[in-house]
Chains A and B, each alone.
Chain A
Amino acid sequence: MTGAAEDARLLRQLRVADFLSREAKLLDEWRLEEWLALFTDDARYVVPGTDDPQADPSRSLVLVDDDRERLGWRVKRLLSGHAHREFPWSRTRRIVSNVLVEDSPPGRIFAGASFVVWRFRHRHADPFIGHADYDLVDDGAGLRIAAKRITIDQESLSPNGALSMIL
Protein backbone atom coordinates (compact mmCIF):
# COMPACT_ATOMS: atom_id res chain seq x y z
CA MET A 1 0.00 0.00 0.00
CA THR A 2 1.32 3.45 -0.89
CA GLY A 3 2.05 5.96 1.81
CA ALA A 4 -1.00 8.12 1.08
CA ALA A 5 -3.47 5.22 0.98
CA GLU A 6 -2.02 3.84 4.19
CA ASP A 7 -2.36 7.25 5.84
CA ALA A 8 -5.99 7.46 4.75
CA ARG A 9 -6.70 3.98 6.14
CA LEU A 10 -5.09 4.81 9.47
CA LEU A 11 -7.02 8.04 9.68
CA ARG A 12 -10.28 6.16 9.17
CA GLN A 13 -9.21 3.64 11.77
CA LEU A 14 -8.57 6.47 14.20
CA ARG A 15 -11.94 8.07 13.48
CA VAL A 16 -13.72 4.78 14.11
CA ALA A 17 -11.79 4.08 17.32
CA ASP A 18 -12.65 7.54 18.55
CA PHE A 19 -16.31 7.03 17.66
CA LEU A 20 -16.46 3.65 19.44
CA SER A 21 -14.84 5.07 22.57
CA ARG A 22 -17.48 7.77 22.63
CA GLU A 23 -20.23 5.21 22.14
CA ALA A 24 -18.84 3.17 25.07
CA LYS A 25 -18.77 6.26 27.25
CA LEU A 26 -22.44 7.03 26.53
CA LEU A 27 -23.41 3.47 27.48
CA ASP A 28 -21.26 3.46 30.63
CA GLU A 29 -22.86 6.73 31.70
CA TRP A 30 -26.36 5.46 30.84
CA ARG A 31 -26.85 8.36 28.39
CA LEU A 32 -29.03 6.07 26.33
CA GLU A 33 -31.03 8.71 24.44
CA GLU A 34 -27.78 10.12 23.10
CA TRP A 35 -26.59 6.61 22.33
CA LEU A 36 -29.80 5.89 20.39
CA ALA A 37 -29.26 9.05 18.36
CA LEU A 38 -26.09 7.45 16.95
CA PHE A 39 -28.26 5.00 14.95
CA THR A 40 -29.81 5.57 11.53
CA ASP A 41 -33.59 5.26 11.15
CA ASP A 42 -33.28 1.89 9.42
CA ALA A 43 -30.68 0.54 11.84
CA ARG A 44 -30.55 -3.01 13.14
CA TYR A 45 -29.04 -4.17 16.40
CA VAL A 46 -28.48 -7.93 16.80
CA VAL A 47 -27.11 -10.13 19.58
CA PRO A 48 -27.01 -13.82 18.57
CA GLY A 49 -27.10 -16.53 21.21
CA THR A 50 -23.91 -17.97 22.60
CA ASP A 51 -24.47 -21.25 20.70
CA ASP A 52 -24.26 -19.82 17.17
CA PRO A 53 -22.64 -16.43 16.55
CA GLN A 54 -23.46 -16.73 12.81
CA ALA A 55 -27.20 -17.14 13.35
CA ASP A 56 -29.54 -15.32 10.97
CA PRO A 57 -32.19 -13.70 13.20
CA SER A 58 -34.91 -13.99 10.57
CA ARG A 59 -34.61 -17.79 10.70
CA SER A 60 -33.00 -18.60 14.06
CA LEU A 61 -33.66 -17.77 17.66
CA VAL A 62 -31.19 -15.17 18.93
CA LEU A 63 -31.04 -13.01 22.07
CA VAL A 64 -31.77 -9.57 20.61
CA ASP A 65 -32.98 -8.56 17.15
CA ASP A 66 -34.09 -4.91 17.27
CA ASP A 67 -35.06 -2.57 14.50
CA ARG A 68 -34.80 1.13 15.30
CA GLU A 69 -38.31 1.20 16.77
CA ARG A 70 -37.79 -1.64 19.19
CA LEU A 71 -34.35 -0.33 20.08
CA GLY A 72 -36.14 2.88 21.04
CA TRP A 73 -38.47 0.89 23.31
CA ARG A 74 -35.48 -0.88 24.82
CA VAL A 75 -33.95 2.48 25.73
CA LYS A 76 -37.23 3.82 27.07
CA ARG A 77 -37.66 0.71 29.20
CA LEU A 78 -34.14 0.95 30.65
CA LEU A 79 -34.63 4.61 31.51
CA SER A 80 -38.08 4.08 33.08
CA GLY A 81 -36.94 2.97 36.52
CA HIS A 82 -39.09 -0.17 36.12
CA ALA A 83 -36.62 -2.42 34.35
CA HIS A 84 -35.95 -4.08 37.68
CA ARG A 85 -32.68 -5.79 36.81
CA GLU A 86 -31.30 -2.37 35.94
CA PHE A 87 -32.83 -0.24 38.63
CA PRO A 88 -30.77 1.07 40.18
CA TRP A 89 -28.56 0.82 37.10
CA SER A 90 -25.64 -1.54 37.35
CA ARG A 91 -22.18 -0.03 37.18
CA THR A 92 -20.47 -0.88 33.95
CA ARG A 93 -17.12 -0.30 32.30
CA ARG A 94 -16.52 -1.02 28.66
CA ILE A 95 -13.04 -1.58 27.33
CA VAL A 96 -13.13 -1.40 23.52
CA SER A 97 -10.02 -2.46 21.66
CA ASN A 98 -8.55 -4.17 18.56
CA VAL A 99 -10.46 -1.82 16.26
CA LEU A 100 -10.12 -2.92 12.65
CA VAL A 101 -11.50 -1.19 9.58
CA GLU A 102 -12.35 -3.33 6.55
CA ASP A 103 -12.52 -2.44 2.87
CA SER A 104 -15.79 -0.61 2.49
CA PRO A 105 -17.83 1.01 -0.28
CA PRO A 106 -17.90 4.83 -0.50
CA GLY A 107 -19.98 6.45 2.25
CA ARG A 108 -19.74 3.33 4.45
CA ILE A 109 -17.22 1.95 6.90
CA PHE A 110 -17.30 -1.70 7.92
CA ALA A 111 -15.45 -2.07 11.18
CA GLY A 112 -15.01 -4.44 14.08
CA ALA A 113 -13.82 -4.17 17.67
CA SER A 114 -13.32 -6.47 20.62
CA PHE A 115 -14.80 -5.59 23.97
CA VAL A 116 -14.86 -6.47 27.63
CA VAL A 117 -17.86 -5.12 29.48
CA TRP A 118 -17.75 -5.38 33.25
CA ARG A 119 -21.04 -5.23 35.07
CA PHE A 120 -21.15 -4.80 38.84
CA ARG A 121 -24.26 -5.40 40.89
CA HIS A 122 -25.42 -7.21 44.04
CA ARG A 123 -21.73 -7.64 44.96
CA HIS A 124 -21.08 -9.66 41.81
CA ALA A 125 -18.73 -8.79 38.98
CA ASP A 126 -20.05 -10.26 35.73
CA PRO A 127 -18.07 -9.73 32.55
CA PHE A 128 -19.37 -9.92 29.00
CA ILE A 129 -16.55 -10.60 26.55
CA GLY A 130 -16.85 -10.48 22.82
CA HIS A 131 -16.67 -8.71 19.54
CA ALA A 132 -18.86 -6.15 17.77
CA ASP A 133 -19.20 -5.71 14.02
CA TYR A 134 -20.37 -2.34 12.74
CA ASP A 135 -21.77 -1.04 9.50
CA LEU A 136 -21.22 2.71 9.79
CA VAL A 137 -22.60 5.45 7.59
CA ASP A 138 -19.95 8.04 6.76
CA ASP A 139 -21.70 10.75 4.75
CA GLY A 140 -19.86 13.82 5.97
CA ALA A 141 -22.30 14.50 8.83
CA GLY A 142 -20.34 12.41 11.33
CA LEU A 143 -20.44 8.63 11.71
CA ARG A 144 -23.74 6.87 12.40
CA ILE A 145 -24.54 3.20 13.04
CA ALA A 146 -26.59 1.37 10.39
CA ALA A 147 -25.98 -2.03 11.94
CA LYS A 148 -24.32 -3.37 15.04
CA ARG A 149 -23.92 -7.08 15.61
CA ILE A 150 -22.45 -8.62 18.73
CA THR A 151 -20.61 -11.89 19.24
CA ILE A 152 -20.48 -13.07 22.84
CA ASP A 153 -17.48 -15.32 23.49
CA GLN A 154 -18.78 -17.01 26.62
CA GLU A 155 -20.40 -20.43 26.12
CA SER A 156 -23.49 -19.40 28.04
CA LEU A 157 -24.85 -16.25 29.69
CA SER A 158 -23.40 -17.53 32.89
CA PRO A 159 -23.10 -16.45 35.58
CA ASN A 160 -24.50 -13.11 34.39
CA GLY A 161 -27.93 -14.64 33.75
CA ALA A 162 -29.45 -12.03 31.45
CA LEU A 163 -28.58 -9.36 28.99
CA SER A 164 -30.26 -6.68 31.02
CA MET A 165 -28.12 -3.79 29.81
CA ILE A 166 -26.95 -2.89 26.30
CA LEU A 167 -23.74 -4.33 24.92
Chain B
Amino acid sequence: MAATAAAMDRRDLAWYTDRAARVLVFIGGISAVVFILGIFVFVTKEGLDFVFGALNLREFFTSIEWRPTSNNPTYGALALIVGTASVTGFAMLCSVPLSLGAALFIAEFATGKTRETLKILVEMLAAIPSVVWGFVGMSIMHPLIIRIFDVPLGLGVLNAGLILGLMAAPIMTTIAEDALKAVPDTYREAAEALGATRWEVILKVVIPASKNGLLAAVLLGVGRGFGETMAVLMASGHAINLPTSVFDSVRALTATIASELGDTVYGSDHYGALFTLGILLFLVTFVINLTADVVVRGIRKK
Protein backbone atom coordinates (compact mmCIF):
# COMPACT_ATOMS: atom_id res chain seq x y z
CA MET B 1 0.00 0.00 0.00
CA ALA B 2 2.66 2.46 1.04
CA ALA B 3 4.75 1.49 -1.97
CA THR B 4 1.88 2.23 -4.34
CA ALA B 5 1.21 5.53 -2.68
CA ALA B 6 4.86 6.49 -3.02
CA ALA B 7 4.78 5.58 -6.69
CA MET B 8 1.64 7.58 -7.24
CA ASP B 9 3.11 10.91 -6.27
CA ARG B 10 6.61 10.47 -7.56
CA ARG B 11 7.96 13.60 -9.15
CA ASP B 12 10.62 12.70 -11.61
CA LEU B 13 12.52 14.73 -14.18
CA ALA B 14 9.68 14.58 -16.71
CA TRP B 15 7.34 16.07 -14.14
CA TYR B 16 9.67 18.97 -13.43
CA THR B 17 10.37 19.57 -17.11
CA ASP B 18 6.68 19.66 -17.75
CA ARG B 19 6.17 22.14 -14.94
CA ALA B 20 9.04 24.34 -16.05
CA ALA B 21 7.87 24.32 -19.65
CA ARG B 22 4.39 25.26 -18.56
CA VAL B 23 5.65 28.21 -16.53
CA LEU B 24 7.90 29.38 -19.38
CA VAL B 25 5.11 29.23 -21.92
CA PHE B 26 2.82 31.07 -19.55
CA ILE B 27 5.40 33.81 -19.04
CA GLY B 28 5.88 34.04 -22.79
CA GLY B 29 2.17 34.32 -23.35
CA ILE B 30 1.50 36.83 -20.63
CA SER B 31 4.49 39.04 -21.36
CA ALA B 32 3.01 40.35 -24.60
CA VAL B 33 0.00 41.55 -22.68
CA VAL B 34 2.16 42.97 -19.91
CA PHE B 35 4.39 44.87 -22.31
CA ILE B 36 1.49 46.38 -24.22
CA LEU B 37 -0.27 47.40 -21.04
CA GLY B 38 3.02 48.72 -19.70
CA ILE B 39 3.64 50.86 -22.76
CA PHE B 40 0.12 52.17 -22.68
CA VAL B 41 0.33 53.03 -18.98
CA PHE B 42 3.71 54.72 -19.44
CA VAL B 43 2.65 56.79 -22.45
CA THR B 44 -0.57 57.79 -20.75
CA LYS B 45 1.16 58.67 -17.49
CA GLU B 46 3.70 60.89 -19.20
CA GLY B 47 1.04 62.64 -21.22
CA LEU B 48 -1.71 62.85 -18.65
CA ASP B 49 -0.31 65.74 -16.60
CA PHE B 50 -0.28 67.83 -19.72
CA VAL B 51 -3.72 66.66 -20.86
CA PHE B 52 -5.31 67.79 -17.60
CA GLY B 53 -3.03 70.79 -17.15
CA ALA B 54 -1.88 73.08 -19.90
CA LEU B 55 -3.71 71.40 -22.78
CA ASN B 56 -6.42 73.34 -24.50
CA LEU B 57 -8.42 70.56 -26.19
CA ARG B 58 -10.09 72.90 -28.58
CA GLU B 59 -6.82 74.35 -29.70
CA PHE B 60 -5.29 70.89 -29.95
CA PHE B 61 -7.84 69.63 -32.43
CA THR B 62 -8.72 72.78 -34.38
CA SER B 63 -5.58 74.88 -34.59
CA ILE B 64 -2.69 74.30 -36.90
CA GLU B 65 -0.36 76.37 -34.74
CA TRP B 66 2.15 73.85 -33.43
CA ARG B 67 4.66 76.18 -31.75
CA PRO B 68 6.00 74.33 -28.74
CA THR B 69 9.22 76.29 -28.54
CA SER B 70 7.93 79.81 -28.95
CA ASN B 71 7.83 82.18 -25.98
CA ASN B 72 4.11 81.85 -25.99
CA PRO B 73 3.79 78.16 -26.96
CA THR B 74 0.70 76.83 -28.72
CA TYR B 75 -0.10 73.18 -29.28
CA GLY B 76 -2.44 72.90 -32.22
CA ALA B 77 -2.15 69.42 -33.68
CA LEU B 78 -4.65 69.69 -36.51
CA ALA B 79 -1.98 69.98 -39.20
CA LEU B 80 -0.15 66.95 -37.83
CA ILE B 81 -3.35 64.89 -37.71
CA VAL B 82 -4.25 65.92 -41.24
CA GLY B 83 -0.66 65.27 -42.31
CA THR B 84 -0.72 61.71 -41.02
CA ALA B 85 -4.21 61.12 -42.39
CA SER B 86 -3.41 62.47 -45.85
CA VAL B 87 -0.16 60.56 -46.22
CA THR B 88 -1.70 57.31 -44.95
CA GLY B 89 -4.81 57.83 -47.05
CA PHE B 90 -2.83 58.50 -50.20
CA ALA B 91 -0.59 55.54 -49.46
CA MET B 92 -3.59 53.24 -49.13
CA LEU B 93 -5.10 54.60 -52.32
CA CYS B 94 -2.01 53.47 -54.20
CA SER B 95 -1.20 50.44 -52.17
CA VAL B 96 -4.48 48.60 -51.63
CA PRO B 97 -5.24 47.92 -55.32
CA LEU B 98 -1.59 47.15 -55.98
CA SER B 99 -1.26 44.76 -53.05
CA LEU B 100 -4.54 42.97 -53.56
CA GLY B 101 -3.74 42.65 -57.25
CA ALA B 102 -0.34 41.24 -56.46
CA ALA B 103 -1.85 38.83 -53.94
CA LEU B 104 -4.43 37.69 -56.48
CA PHE B 105 -1.77 37.14 -59.08
CA ILE B 106 0.50 35.21 -56.74
CA ALA B 107 -2.29 33.12 -55.21
CA GLU B 108 -4.52 32.48 -58.21
CA PHE B 109 -2.50 32.79 -61.39
CA ALA B 110 1.22 32.38 -60.87
CA THR B 111 2.56 28.85 -60.67
CA GLY B 112 5.81 27.12 -59.91
CA LYS B 113 8.96 29.23 -60.19
CA THR B 114 7.19 32.52 -60.90
CA ARG B 115 5.16 32.12 -57.76
CA GLU B 116 8.10 31.28 -55.54
CA THR B 117 10.23 34.09 -56.96
CA LEU B 118 7.47 36.63 -56.48
CA LYS B 119 6.86 35.54 -52.91
CA ILE B 120 10.53 35.87 -52.08
CA LEU B 121 10.71 39.29 -53.71
CA VAL B 122 7.72 40.52 -51.75
CA GLU B 123 9.26 39.28 -48.53
CA MET B 124 12.52 40.99 -49.40
CA LEU B 125 10.60 44.20 -49.94
CA ALA B 126 9.33 43.89 -46.39
CA ALA B 127 12.86 43.61 -45.04
CA ILE B 128 14.07 46.97 -46.37
CA PRO B 129 14.70 49.30 -43.39
CA SER B 130 12.52 52.37 -43.29
CA VAL B 131 15.47 54.74 -43.34
CA VAL B 132 16.39 53.31 -46.73
CA TRP B 133 12.88 54.05 -47.93
CA GLY B 134 13.27 57.55 -46.60
CA PHE B 135 16.51 57.84 -48.52
CA VAL B 136 14.77 56.68 -51.68
CA GLY B 137 12.13 59.30 -51.10
CA MET B 138 14.64 62.08 -50.57
CA SER B 139 17.21 61.36 -53.21
CA ILE B 140 15.32 59.55 -55.97
CA MET B 141 11.63 60.43 -55.79
CA HIS B 142 12.24 64.05 -54.79
CA PRO B 143 14.07 65.10 -57.99
CA LEU B 144 11.88 62.78 -60.05
CA ILE B 145 8.68 64.43 -58.87
CA ILE B 146 10.16 67.86 -59.51
CA ARG B 147 11.11 66.86 -63.03
CA ILE B 148 7.91 65.05 -63.97
CA PHE B 149 5.35 67.40 -62.48
CA ASP B 150 7.35 70.60 -62.72
CA VAL B 151 6.78 71.61 -59.11
CA PRO B 152 9.24 73.46 -56.85
CA LEU B 153 9.39 70.79 -54.17
CA GLY B 154 9.17 67.02 -54.44
CA LEU B 155 8.81 66.26 -50.75
CA GLY B 156 5.19 66.01 -49.69
CA VAL B 157 2.02 63.92 -49.65
CA LEU B 158 2.76 62.37 -53.03
CA ASN B 159 6.30 61.36 -52.20
CA ALA B 160 5.61 60.14 -48.67
CA GLY B 161 2.39 58.46 -49.76
CA LEU B 162 4.09 56.50 -52.52
CA ILE B 163 6.94 55.49 -50.26
CA LEU B 164 4.56 54.50 -47.50
CA GLY B 165 2.40 52.63 -49.98
CA LEU B 166 5.39 50.61 -51.10
CA MET B 167 6.31 49.95 -47.49
CA ALA B 168 2.83 48.77 -46.57
CA ALA B 169 2.46 46.68 -49.74
CA PRO B 170 4.46 43.61 -48.66
CA ILE B 171 2.53 42.99 -45.47
CA MET B 172 -0.79 43.55 -47.23
CA THR B 173 0.23 41.29 -50.10
CA THR B 174 1.45 38.54 -47.80
CA ILE B 175 -1.62 38.56 -45.55
CA ALA B 176 -4.01 38.86 -48.48
CA GLU B 177 -2.29 36.02 -50.28
CA ASP B 178 -2.58 33.86 -47.18
CA ALA B 179 -6.27 34.68 -47.02
CA LEU B 180 -6.76 33.74 -50.67
CA LYS B 181 -4.76 30.55 -50.29
CA ALA B 182 -6.88 29.59 -47.31
CA VAL B 183 -9.96 29.33 -49.53
CA PRO B 184 -10.41 25.58 -50.08
CA ASP B 185 -9.76 24.48 -53.62
CA THR B 186 -13.02 22.54 -53.63
CA TYR B 187 -14.86 25.86 -53.87
CA ARG B 188 -12.97 26.86 -56.97
CA GLU B 189 -13.50 23.43 -58.45
CA ALA B 190 -17.22 23.50 -57.74
CA ALA B 191 -17.61 26.91 -59.35
CA GLU B 192 -15.53 25.97 -62.37
CA ALA B 193 -17.52 22.79 -62.87
CA LEU B 194 -20.65 24.95 -62.89
CA GLY B 195 -19.18 26.84 -65.81
CA ALA B 196 -17.60 29.84 -64.13
CA THR B 197 -14.59 31.39 -65.84
CA ARG B 198 -11.38 32.05 -63.95
CA TRP B 199 -12.46 35.63 -63.25
CA GLU B 200 -15.92 34.66 -62.17
CA VAL B 201 -14.46 32.14 -59.77
CA ILE B 202 -12.27 34.85 -58.26
CA LEU B 203 -14.92 37.54 -58.11
CA LYS B 204 -17.85 35.43 -57.00
CA VAL B 205 -16.24 32.76 -54.89
CA VAL B 206 -12.66 33.38 -53.83
CA ILE B 207 -12.93 37.04 -52.83
CA PRO B 208 -16.24 36.69 -50.95
CA ALA B 209 -14.87 33.65 -49.15
CA SER B 210 -11.70 35.43 -48.09
CA LYS B 211 -13.07 38.91 -47.39
CA ASN B 212 -12.27 38.74 -43.67
CA GLY B 213 -8.65 38.03 -44.38
CA LEU B 214 -8.50 40.67 -47.11
CA LEU B 215 -9.97 43.23 -44.75
CA ALA B 216 -7.45 42.26 -42.11
CA ALA B 217 -4.70 42.72 -44.68
CA VAL B 218 -5.88 46.22 -45.55
CA LEU B 219 -6.21 47.22 -41.91
CA LEU B 220 -2.75 45.94 -41.11
CA GLY B 221 -1.50 48.02 -44.01
CA VAL B 222 -3.26 51.07 -42.62
CA GLY B 223 -1.70 50.40 -39.25
CA ARG B 224 1.69 50.05 -40.84
CA GLY B 225 1.30 53.36 -42.65
CA PHE B 226 -0.06 55.12 -39.63
CA GLY B 227 2.81 54.19 -37.36
CA GLU B 228 5.65 54.61 -39.83
CA THR B 229 8.00 57.37 -38.77
CA MET B 230 11.40 57.61 -40.35
CA ALA B 231 10.45 57.35 -44.01
CA VAL B 232 7.61 59.81 -43.55
CA LEU B 233 9.87 62.20 -41.71
CA MET B 234 12.29 62.16 -44.63
CA ALA B 235 9.85 62.14 -47.56
CA SER B 236 7.03 64.37 -46.38
CA GLY B 237 8.93 67.63 -46.20
CA HIS B 238 8.14 67.85 -42.47
CA ALA B 239 6.45 71.22 -42.79
CA ILE B 240 3.45 72.15 -40.67
CA ASN B 241 0.85 72.75 -43.28
CA LEU B 242 -2.70 71.86 -44.25
CA PRO B 243 -2.18 70.28 -47.68
CA THR B 244 -4.31 71.45 -50.58
CA SER B 245 -2.63 69.30 -53.21
CA VAL B 246 -0.58 66.13 -53.24
CA PHE B 247 2.56 68.18 -53.85
CA ASP B 248 2.27 70.07 -50.55
CA SER B 249 4.60 69.25 -47.72
CA VAL B 250 3.06 67.94 -44.54
CA ARG B 251 4.16 66.79 -41.14
CA ALA B 252 3.09 63.54 -39.53
CA LEU B 253 2.31 62.86 -35.86
CA THR B 254 4.97 60.20 -35.60
CA ALA B 255 7.62 62.30 -37.29
CA THR B 256 6.89 65.17 -34.92
CA ILE B 257 7.47 62.99 -31.88
CA ALA B 258 10.63 61.51 -33.32
CA SER B 259 12.19 64.82 -34.30
CA GLU B 260 11.26 66.83 -31.21
CA LEU B 261 11.36 64.49 -28.24
CA GLY B 262 15.14 64.61 -27.94
CA ASP B 263 15.13 68.38 -27.49
CA THR B 264 12.53 68.60 -24.78
CA VAL B 265 13.02 68.95 -21.07
CA TYR B 266 11.70 66.00 -19.11
CA GLY B 267 8.32 66.86 -17.64
CA SER B 268 7.91 70.12 -19.54
CA ASP B 269 4.74 71.06 -21.40
CA HIS B 270 6.41 70.29 -24.71
CA TYR B 271 7.37 66.84 -23.43
CA GLY B 272 3.80 66.25 -22.28
CA ALA B 273 2.39 67.51 -25.56
CA LEU B 274 4.46 64.99 -27.50
CA PHE B 275 3.21 62.22 -25.26
CA THR B 276 -0.30 63.44 -25.86
CA LEU B 277 0.34 62.90 -29.55
CA GLY B 278 1.47 59.43 -28.56
CA ILE B 279 -1.78 58.80 -26.72
CA LEU B 280 -3.68 59.98 -29.78
CA LEU B 281 -1.73 57.58 -32.02
CA PHE B 282 -2.34 54.79 -29.58
CA LEU B 283 -6.07 55.47 -29.40
CA VAL B 284 -6.47 55.65 -33.16
CA THR B 285 -4.62 52.39 -33.67
CA PHE B 286 -6.76 50.86 -30.96
CA VAL B 287 -9.94 52.05 -32.65
CA ILE B 288 -8.77 50.75 -36.04
CA ASN B 289 -8.06 47.33 -34.61
CA LEU B 290 -11.27 47.26 -32.64
CA THR B 291 -13.28 48.23 -35.71
CA ALA B 292 -11.54 45.55 -37.70
CA ASP B 293 -12.38 43.04 -35.02
CA VAL B 294 -16.02 44.05 -34.83
CA VAL B 295 -16.44 44.11 -38.59
CA VAL B 296 -14.78 40.73 -39.01
CA ARG B 297 -16.90 39.28 -36.24
CA GLY B 298 -20.04 40.77 -37.75
CA ILE B 299 -19.26 39.19 -41.09
CA ARG B 300 -18.60 35.87 -39.45
CA LYS B 301 -21.89 35.88 -37.58
CA LYS B 302 -23.79 36.48 -40.81
- Answer yes or no: do A and B interact: no
Binding site for A on B (CB under 8 A): none
Binding site for B on A (CB under 8 A): none
